[in-house]
A and B are shown apart, each in its own frame.
Chain A
Amino acid sequence: MNEAKRKLLNKRYRAEANFKLFGQIAIGLALLFLAVFMYKIFSKGYTAFQKTWIVTEVHYDKELMLIETDNPSLEDLENADYYDIAYKAMTHLDPSLPEEDDRQLIQMVAFTYEQEVKNHLLKNPSLLGKIVPIRLTASDDLDQVHKGNYPRDIPEEDRRVNDYQLKIYDMLNERGDILSKFNLSFFTNPDSREAELAGIASSFMGTVFSILVCLAFSFPIAVLAAIYLEEFAPKNKFTDFIEVNINNLAAVPSIVFGLLGLGVLLAVFNLPRSTPLVGGITLSLMTLPTIIIAARASLKAVPPSIREAALAMGASNMQTTMHHTVPLSMPGTLSGTIIGLAQALGETAPLILIGMVAFVNTIPGTPVDPAASLPVQIYIWSESAERGFVEKVSACIMVLLGFLILMNLAAQIIRHKFERKWN
């Protein structure tokens, strides 16, 4: 082999190696994006599962609470005045503070502190007249300081927490009066304007209702449509048209379905705005083609021998389909349905258009109560300026991703466990 040929060959081999390397780099990049993404979300979000409390002492003083009877009933406690004792509980942290500056101390806890003092007593009525330690929800700014998410070394005027509050915070922290516990209220509270009180309960229930409505509408219609198209439809122009239609519908942007929901469900049928009912129906229109395609694929996968055997035994076409083909295709259909629902679960834009972005601070009990949904909650919180919401958004994303993973796992398990392999 002469020199020129060897050179050419080496060049070709180098090109080969380079090309392979490019492929590996591309895969690596895609995986890297995913890793960075997950890392960012988790590192920002995990602190939201901790809640910061300030421990202080409250004196359930009957006189200050304006209770006149000796043996107050629960109702009396309910109607008592808690403003003064709650105020004292906070201000006694620093008795030297002049009265006109008391806001500085009060602002260190959530604005519901009076309610928290009250609820503590209502749970243990025997505490009346005693001085007891109580833990109050810290304000979101202090919460962020405690979690180290908030820089302390910037100039005071740029900070939401001033020097005095930091001093008190350090004092309490040294005494061990700042507690950090699992944040249960993140899961049980509805949305709130205050980051320290905001939870996902309302949007979670909104999501559950929307998905149930979506399932109730899309699953039966989609399965029936798939059965017709796969088992009964004659091959003609019209069924071709339906088929093209379904394929195109699957690729229509989700926001267009939102416009449909707005223009038809709200404007023509006058269904209640902002409710999971409308949201669910809108999502079901979107999931319909996905489920139809999955159901058809799994009907197609049932071997013709099954049908022939049933027909040979004298079953009618309908009996063959309903008794044999459809049950055998169910695992594939179900896993396709779950994947379609998982897609619907993450949709935001159509729900925004039908008004599910309204601020809802109650937990919806039925599908016709106004509600948000988890992805919309992410959007609402991420538009909020308060720093405390950043970790809430990340935590909410973690919950949402957790659900998506669960659903996809369920789809996988159904597919692997129950699907028959035909060879």
Chain B
Amino acid sequence: MNLVLISLILLLGFSSYYFGRKKATIIQSSQRLTALPKFYGYYLAIWCAAPALIIFSLWSVFEPTIVKNFILADYLDQNLTKNELQLIYTKVKALALGTYTGDINNFLDNSAGKYIQIKNMANNAKIVIVLAALILSLSYAYQSIKKNNRMREPVEIFLKWVLFTASLAAVLVTIGIVFSLLFEAIRFFQSVRIFDFIFGTHWYPAKTFVRDGQPDPELMKDAFGAVPLFAGTFFIAFIAMCVAIPVGLLSGIYLAEYATRKVRKYAKPIIEILAGIPTVVYGFFAALTVGPFVKEIGNSLGLEVSSESALAAGAVMGVMIIPFISSLSDDVISAVPQNLRDGSYAMGATKSETIKKVIFPAALPGIVGSILLAVSRAVGETMIVVMASGLAANLTANPLESTSTITAQIVVILIGDQQFGDPKTQAAFALGISLFVVTLFLNVIALTVVKKYREKYE
């Protein structure tokens, strides 16, 4: 139904383009046009389709809520909770569609009848209103064409608005992220104190699972302490940085200062392949090859090593991050002005001395920025940890034991079927918002530092 209406609108829009253009050529025979003929076509097409489509989408967005309110108005005097009302509404809808299989009482039956009635009415009203709007705006535009008003400006203004709306998409996504996370997280913090979440040291959400009914608040208090996860996240990120910073930084310096043009041309893209490999592939590699390898070495040294160790996950994550640091620091070092180098060489310093004492301090802000970006990347990395570092949230500083991270726990909680309204599901969103805040913080600092640095030398 909706599809037919949309295609009708679009069809009319396209045909009015040709109609408008033709009209313009007719006008052309008697008087001078105010714009190229195609703008007449665009003008008519825009006026034909845009208002109708806008009304159509607004209607489609608001219709379900309004219909729901109409139906549930009958149940308001029964003092039902929100969830019960939702359930009733779902039942009514299923009954109206003929897919309901439970018990049917009179009340439900009445509501279903009313639902069908309202739905039909709404549908008809929608078609009438949308088509009326289309005809009205079309005739207005046609009048305006007949008068040979200026045609290019309105079309271009419209296009500019379209461009502007598109640029709002990025803002909308951010708003969507913040609100969807906040919404669930706030509900989570209604059942679990925020203090217990941030400072609790025991993470065991499975404990709160109770069939039919509210879990015991005492249990809840002790099940959602996120400290082990925060600690695990930063611990694994720390291990990753221990691998990535030395290797990445040294290769960045080598590429920028020592490497011949040819070496640079081939080595840089090859190292960047490391960043293009999907993380799930690293996860598989870490779980299947690196994990057992670490375990074997540890066992031969007489150490107790879990087969899913933080070390394996962190090391592989570090390899993944190498190119972020090497490429960014390469760029940053190359951007240091040549006269700084020349000055140092003129004083008799060797290349490595120049790098260590002149270039590195000059490039430091940029390098710090790139490292912060890399840390944010490590903190947000999911699949490697899920596959290689185990899922039990241990509070430990031993790299040979398994730890879990924020991201891994989100996946563990949300894999499979989720139930909204369950504190476990909401906990995932609370974790999500802490992850978002941490990475946002790191990113903002890193981007500001890098930007300041660039401005300094440009």
Q: Is B381 an interface residue (CB 8 A)?
A: yes
CB-CB < 8 A to B351: which residues of A?
Answer: 16, 19-20
Taking each of B177, B351, B415, which has the highest tally of chain A beta carbons within 10 Å of its own beta carbon? B177
Cα distance, A19 to B156, chains bound together (Å)? 60
Nearest CB of chain B from residue A41's CB, rounded to whole Å: 7
CB-CB < 8 A to A318: which residues of B?
Answer: 156, 159-160
Q: Is B162 an interface residue (CB 8 A)?
A: yes
Whether A27 lies near B255 (C-beta < 8 A) is yes
278-301 of chain A: CB within 8 A of chain B? 285, 288-289, 292
* Interface majority SS (helix, strand, loop, mixed), chain A: helix
Beyond A224-B166, A251-B439, A253-B407, whether A30 also contacts B281 by CB under 8 A is no
CB-CB < 8 A to A401: which residues of B?
Answer: 277, 281
CB-CB < 8 A to B195: which residues of A?
Answer: none
CB-CB < 8 A to B356: which residues of A?
Answer: 19
Whether A253 lies near B379 (C-beta < 8 A) is yes
Checking A24, A232, A244, A260 against B163 with a beta-carbon cut-off of 8 angstroms, the contacting residue is A232
Q: Is B306 an interface residue (CB 8 A)?
A: no
CB-CB < 8 A to A40: which residues of B?
Answer: 285, 289
Whether B251 lies near A255 (C-beta < 8 A) is no
Name B177's closest neighbour in chain A (CB-CB). A260
Whether B163 lies near A382 (C-beta < 8 A) is no
Checking A224, A248, A257 against B162 with a beta-carbon cut-off of 8 angstroms, the contacting residue is A224
Cα distance, A404 to B152, chains bound together (Å)? 44
Q: Is B59 an interface residue (CB 8 A)?
A: no
Whether B163 lies near A227 (C-beta < 8 A) is yes
The bracket for how many chain A residues form the interface is 35 or more
Checking B274, B278, B283, B432 against A255 with a beta-carbon cut-off of 8 angstroms, the contacting residue is B432
Whether B380 lies near A254 (C-beta < 8 A) is yes
Whether B444 lies near A248 (C-beta < 8 A) is yes
Checking A12, A41, A289, A383 against B170 with a beta-carbon cut-off of 8 angstroms, the contacting residue is A289
Cα distance, A349 to B428, chains bound together (Å)? 13
Return 10 A-B CB contacts under 8 Å, by A number: A16-B351, A23-B251, A225-B167, A228-B163, A241-B171, A253-B381, A260-B180, A288-B169, A349-B407, A352-B411
9 smallest A-B Cβ distances: which pairs?
A253-B380, A23-B254, A346-B278, A263-B180, A224-B166, A26-B250, A228-B163, A19-B352, A349-B382
A30-B326, A318-B156, A352-B411 known, 4 other contacts, Cβ within 8 Å: A34-B274, A232-B164, A348-B279, A401-B277
Q: Residues of A at under 8 Å CB distance from B?
A: 12-13, 15-16, 18-20, 22-27, 29-31, 33-34, 37, 40-41, 220-222, 224-225, 227-229, 232-233, 241-242, 244-249, 251-260, 262-264, 267-268, 285, 288-289, 292, 316-318, 342-343, 345-349, 352-353, 355, 357, 375-376, 378-379, 382-383, 390, 393, 397, 400-401, 404, 408
